[in-house]
């Protein structure tokens, strides 16, 4: 008998259900006795013992379903060692619930913070396998995360739709794309959507360079300009501030987000009309695209195979077009960021895209 625990932690995204389905179908098809316990609302379920047994029926019809059938929550890693409001030791509680159910393994689906806690549990002696979930594609040790391509499709569609109204009114449009620390989503959606300017957290911008790029397009006869701006885009001036100073500046800002500040600065310097569109959480919503359905299914299947072989302590990742297993300690606490000197950035610049630098 194999007893498996499963949970989804952090922000939701497309293909979480597809990945869990991949794990479950692989285990159920192995002709072994298997029990799968789904912990509800992420690590909270594991901490407080909230779970339900999942059957084959639970995994039927969820390949194309967005979100997560188990629910999710954010439980910051930095607070994991701190007792809760009632004095409960969260780490010990998770271990006790793991052992109480006599689990052979815990399958954890999540992003950076999730993997830090997963590695903590592994170091505490639990058998853990993880799957890389995030629309930001910022997990170390894998070339791709599931949810990323679906989010790229949605963000690209938003940019596509802005083109017609921008051209009709002859305006400058900013489309704010998700990504506080990492710009893979904005970079890919910006290129795919034909954005003229792309602003990323990894490449601090100069507002004068942005205005120059807009004016150059105008002088060449273009009636409009579209900017794809990551929500974590930062100016060269702000990049020189300490984290504490920059956080204070954001707290005291009169603007809802960085895109509105950029819009105001462009209007002031150029006299042009600027509009901001924020697709927001739609980028994480809806069903997974076909790529993510296939990709998440493959990752889930490989996780199931590792469980059957008794190989634990790994994240199932993707390297050089192959599914691989990556030691959890090599993943936890590391962030994969856009390299400003990478070939994709250089190629985007050859296409005439400005990064404001």
3-class state of residue 146 by DSSP: strand
Contact 338, 60 (CB under 8 A): no
Token code pair at residue 193: 């959507």
Neighbouring-strand partners of residue 6: 38, 107
> The tokens of 212 are what?
């120059």
Q: Which residues contact 34 (CB under 8 A, 6 or more apart)?
A: 1, 2, 3, 4, 27, 28
Pinpoint the alpha helices (H) of the chain. Answer: 16-28, 43-48, 90-100, 112-123, 148-169, 184-192, 207-219, 236-239, 243-251, 258-270, 290-309, 328-331, 343-350
Q: How far is CA 185 from the centre of its chain?
A: 9
Give the residue numbers annotated as catalytic, written as ranges: 136
Considering Cα of 22, then 23, then 29, then 35, what sign does the dihedral take?
A: negative
As a whole number of angstroms, the distance between CA 38 and CA 51 comes to 5
Are 186 and 195 spatial neighbours (Cβ–Cβ below 8 Å)? Answer: no
Residue 36: closest CA among 27, 46, 48: 27
Q: What are phi and psi of 255, to 5 degrees?
A: -100, 145
Q: Describe the strand order of the beta sheet including 322-327 as a list of residue ranges.
A: 51-54, 34-39, 2-8, 105-110, 128-132, 314-319, 322-327
How far apart are the C-alpha atoms of 13 and 288, rounded to whole Å?
Answer: 8
Q: Match 């630098």 to its residue by tokens.
A: 357
């Amino acid at each position: 008998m194999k007893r498996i625990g499963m949970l989804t932690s952090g922000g939701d995204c497309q293909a979480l259900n597809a990945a869990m389905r991949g794990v479950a179908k692989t285990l159920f098809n192995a002709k072994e006795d298997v029990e799968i316990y789904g912990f509800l609302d992420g690590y909270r379920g594991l901490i407080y013992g909230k779970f339900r047994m999942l059957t084959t029926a639970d995994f039927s019809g969820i390949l194309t379903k967005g979100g997560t059938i188990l629910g999710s929550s954010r439980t910051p890693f930095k607070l994991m060692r701190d007792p809760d409001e009632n004095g409960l030791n969260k780490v010990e509680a998770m271990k006790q619930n793991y052992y109480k159910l006599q689990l052979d393994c815990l399958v954890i689906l999540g992003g950076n913070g999730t993997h830090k806690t997963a590695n903590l549990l592994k170091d505490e002696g639990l058998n853990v396998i993880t799957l890389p979930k995030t629309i930001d594609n910022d997990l170390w040790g894998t070339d791709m995360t599931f949810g990323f391509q679906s989010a790229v499709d949605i963000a690209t569609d938003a940019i596509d739709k802005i083109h017609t109204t921008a051209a009709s009114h002859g305006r400058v449009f900013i489309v704010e794309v998700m990504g506080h620390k990492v710009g893979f989503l904005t970079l890919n959606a910006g290129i795919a959507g034909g954005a003229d300017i792309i602003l990323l957290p990894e490449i601090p911008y100069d507002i004068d360079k942005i205005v120059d790029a807009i004016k150059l397009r105008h002088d060449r006869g273009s009636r409009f300009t579209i900017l794809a701006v990551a929500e974590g885009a930062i100016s060269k001036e702000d990049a020189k501030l300490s984290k504490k100073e920059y956080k204070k500046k954001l707290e005291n800002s009169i603007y809802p987000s960085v895109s509105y500040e950029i819009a105001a600065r462009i209007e002031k310097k150029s006299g042009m009309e600027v509009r901001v569109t924020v697709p927001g959480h739609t980028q994480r919503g809806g069903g997974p695209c076909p790529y993510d359905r296939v990709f998440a299914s493959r990752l889930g299947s490989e996780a199931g195979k590792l469980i059957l072989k008794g190989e634990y302590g790994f994240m199932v990742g993707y390297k050089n077009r192959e599914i691989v297993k990556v030691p959890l300690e090599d993943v936890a606490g590391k962030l994969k960021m856009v390299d400003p000197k990478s070939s994709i950035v250089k190629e985007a610049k050859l296409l005439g895209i400005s990064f404001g630098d």
